[in-house]
Amino acid sequence: MALNRRHFFKVLGVTGATLAIGKELKAIPGKGTSIEFSGVLYDSTRCAGCQTCESSCAEANGLPAPVGTIEAGVVRKTDESHRTVVNAFKSSKGEAFMKKQCMHCNEPACTAACLTQAMYKTKEGPVIWRGNKCMGCRYCMVSCPFDVPKFEYHSANPKIEKCNMCYSRLTEGKVPACVENCPAEALVFGKRRDLIKEARKRIVENPNQYFDHIYGEHEAGGTGFLSIAAVPFDELGLNTSLQSKSYPELSKGFLYSVPTIFVLWPAILLGIREATKTNQSNEEENE
């Protein structure tokens, strides 16, 4: 029965590997309650649309200067050379601004999608991209519900560009460039838990000034980048129909079924094979 033994080891090996998948999934920080992630709070009511965050981001990350000025109704997008943009919207309470960049989800779809751990949720909170691991498959772009990762299509050595919350500045003890340079103090850097408290305080203290919602508290399972504003967020170009479960949750069921199938299928198949064996086919086996 050399054959069966060999097969057994194969199954054993792969089962081990797939069981490890299950473990890994559980290890994704859950709901941001037990781990103190850092984040940024953006207050749309304080933002003046001066674009200082855009230019300081470009400067800090060695990217080209921002293109175009803010004009209500014109939606500018982040791209492979601009990690953040601020847009103006004609809202029900007049002109209002909204900043776009990576949301730094608690359980990011991009890191769950990445098969090389190039997209990586650091323990401090920022989601960073590591070029030495990335193979450029762009599955992170397919998965990200906010369409954040951008790819350099016109390069032979393309990078994925996205905001990384100035991770290298954070490790030096500084705050992100956009936060440091914001003249209106519309951006605050801090622990996510404290930021939610601060956001809630502002909303409670000025109920007429704010729309009662913190965008990012529950969206996509919670994000590190939080926003508060005067009007509902769909007026500010944000997707308000995102699920409150995290996105990796969507493929978790499939991944959990993998070890089960890996254990059961070979056994069932061998069983059927034995059951359908006739005397005749016993003789001409393995033809």
Partner 1 sequence: MSNINFAVAKDNDGKSIWKFLSGELKPRGKFLTPFNIISIPVIALGLIIIIIRFWKGLGAVTNLTQEVPWGLWIGFDVVTGVAFAGGAYVLTFMVYILNMQKYHSIVRITVLNGFLAYVFYAGALLLDLGRPWNVINPIIGNSFGTSSVLFLVAWHFLLYMIAQLIEFSPAVAEWLGAKRARKILSGMTIAAVIFGITLSTLHQSGLGALYLMAKDKIHPLWYSEFIPVLFFVSSVFAGLSMVIFEGSISNRVFANQISEKNHKAHNSIISGLSKICAVAMFAYFFLHVLIFVHGKRWDLLNTPMGYWYLLEMFGFVLLPMMLFFYGYRRNNILLIKVAAILTMLGVILNRLNVTVIGFRWDAAIRYVPTWMELVVTLTVIFTEIWIFRWVINRMPVLRESPSWVHDKD
Given a contact cutoff of 8 angstroms between Cβ atoms, the answer to whether 44 and 96 are in contact is yes
CA angle 273, 278, 283 (to 5 degrees): 95
Least distance (Å) between residue 280 CB and partner 1: 9
CB of 72 or CB of 263, closer to partner 1:
263
- Binding-site member from 143, 164, 223, 227 for partner 1 (CB under 8 A): 143
Least distance (Å) between residue 31 CB and partner 1: 16
Per CB under 8 A, contacts with partner 1 among 18-77 are: 18, 20-21, 24-25, 28, 77
173 in contact with partner 1 (CB under 8 A): no
247 interacts with partner 1 by CB under 8 A = yes
Stretch 203-222 residues interacting with partner 1 (CB under 8 A): none
- Cβ-based nearer residue to partner 1, 202 or 252: 252
Residue 189 CA to its chain's centroid (Å): 19
Query: What is the smallest separation between the CB atom of 232 and partner 1, expressed in angstroms?
Result: 18
Out of 50, 72, 203, 242, the only residue in the binding site for partner 1 (CB under 8 A) is 242
Torsion of CA 211, 217, 223, 225, to 10 degrees: 40
- Applying CB under 8 A, among 73, 173, 207, 254 the residue interacting with partner 1 is 254
Residue owning tokens 């500045």: 169
For position 241 contacting partner 1 by CB under 8 A, the verdict is: yes
Alpha-carbon span 187 to 46, nearest angstrom: 9
- Residue 56 C-alpha from the chain's centroid: 23
CA distance 199 to 193: 10
| Least gap, CB of 103 to partner 1 (angstroms) | 14
DSSP secondary structure, 149-202, as one string: -EE-TT-SS--EE---TTHHHHHTTPPPHHHHH-TT--EEEEEHHHHHHHHHHH
CB of 11 to partner 1, least distance (A): 8
Site membership for partner 1, residue 12 (CB under 8 A):
no
80: contact with partner 1 by CB under 8 A: yes
Q: Which is nearer to partner 1, 41 or 160 (CB)?
A: 160
**Is 138 an interacting residue with respect to partner 1 (CB under 8 A)?**
yes
